[in-house]
Amino acid sequence: MIIYFSGTGNSEYTAKRIGKETGDETINLFEKIRNHDFSEISSENPWVVVTPTYAWRIPRIVQKWLEQTPLNGNKNIYFVMTCGENIGNAGKYLEKLCLKKKMNYSGCMEIVMPENYIALFSTPNEETALQIIDQAESVIDQAAICIKQGEVFPQADISFGDKIISGIVNEFFYPTMVHAKKFYTTDACISCGKCVSVCPLNNVHIENGKPAWGNHCTHCMACICRCPTEAIEYGKHSQGLPRYICKKDV
Ligand SMILES: Cc1cc2nc3c(=O)[nH]c(=O)nc-3n(C[C@H](O)[C@H](O)[C@H](O)COP(=O)(O)O)c2cc1C
Ligand code: SF4
Ligand code: SF4
């Protein structure tokens, strides 16, 4: 069974493409995470967890969901992480998670996809994004073939720098950078409520016709990138940058 979390569509596309190749069922974790649903699920096929990379590890909300949710049936679990550049030493923490869950870690595949972190970095325009996705497809297909054949993913080389970014930098990043304090709306807001419905943490609500952000943001970038009128900004950084959503269909 393929389970995925996705803020702006890269991991959704990747999960569905793997599902098409392996013929496996694909489940979006959005509702489960939003509703704090940690009820057990079962699969006879290996588990495949597809997520974005947040500070060189899987998102903490997915880590928490996996820690709390019993995955019954098949004991093998693959991880596929989409990223803008690299996943660092994420695999080390996933191996630890598997040990805790008494499951067999079958490896972690890095898939370089378009950068979506518009709050801190530059997002690509549509043409460049499609080129990056085209290049990623052969790696996604390699992952699907490994899963189909029951082989573990090839192990990537890990540098000292990878250990630092997935370790101490990740620990520092969440408390200092991940918050919703810099989100605001411009006059382009039409009060449609989409930013409310796309937030996996229920962190956006409408106050006097305009969105307001709470304290549970995980920086998935769904609200800012999915707003139909591009009315959301994150400080000054997002001004003038293209909003990124994966436009490719499986
Ligand atoms: C909070 C946050 C942290 C990120 N950290 C990393 C990172 O450490 N390394 C990297 O290569 N990309 C990083 N990215 C980029 C995303 O992992 C990448 O664009 C991913 O494919 C987005 O997936 P999605 O469209 O399924 O949400 C980050 C993005 C966000 C929003
Ligand atoms: S999605 Fe955009 S236009 Fe709609 S309510 Fe939110 S900020 Fe306003
Ligand atoms: S507030 Fe926006 S960026 Fe933060 S978790 Fe919700 S949708 Fe994602």
List per-residue pLDDT tens for the chain, 250 residues long: 999 999 999 999 999 999 999 999 999 999 999 999 999 999 999 999 999 999 999 999 999 999 999 999 999 999 999 999 999 999 999 999 999 999 999 999 999 999 999 999 999 999 999 999 999 999 999 999 999 999 999 999 999 999 999 999 999 999 999 999 999 999 999 999 999 999 999 999 999 999 999 999 999 999 999 999 999 999 999 999 999 999 999 9
CB contact burial 228-240 (16+ within 10 A = b; e otherwise): eeebbbbeeebee
CA dist., res. 186 & res. 137, Å (int) = 37
CB contact set of 167 (below 8 Å; sequence gap of 6+): 89
Which residue do the tokens 């898939």 mark? 111
Q: What is the model's pLDDT at position 250? A: 94
Task: For ligand 2, say whether the CB of 146 is within 6 Å of any of its atoms.
Answer: no
Q: What is the model's pLDDT at position 110? A: 98
Task: For ligand 2, say whether the CB of 243 is within 6 Å of any of its atoms.
Answer: no
CA dist., res. 155 & res. 187, Å (int) = 49
Q: What is the model's pLDDT at position 141? A: 98
Centre of ligand 3 from the C-alpha of residue 198, in Å: 8
Structure-block tokens of residue 232: 């959301």
Q: What is the model's pLDDT at position 215? A: 96
Which residue do the tokens 């305009």 mark? 210
Q: What is the model's pLDDT at position 78? A: 98
Do 169 and 160 meet the contact criterion of CB atoms below 8 Å apart? no
CA dist., res. 186 & res. 173, Å (int) = 28
Which is the closest atom of ligand 2 to the Cα of 223? 1
Centre of ligand 3 from the C-alpha of residue 150, in Å: 36
Centre of ligand 2 from the C-alpha of residue 203, in Å: 14
Task: For ligand 2, say whether the CB of 227 is within 6 Å of any of its atoms.
Answer: yes
Task: For ligand 3, say whether the CB of 116 is within 6 Å of any of its atoms.
Answer: no
Centre of ligand 2 from the C-alpha of residue 227, in Å: 5
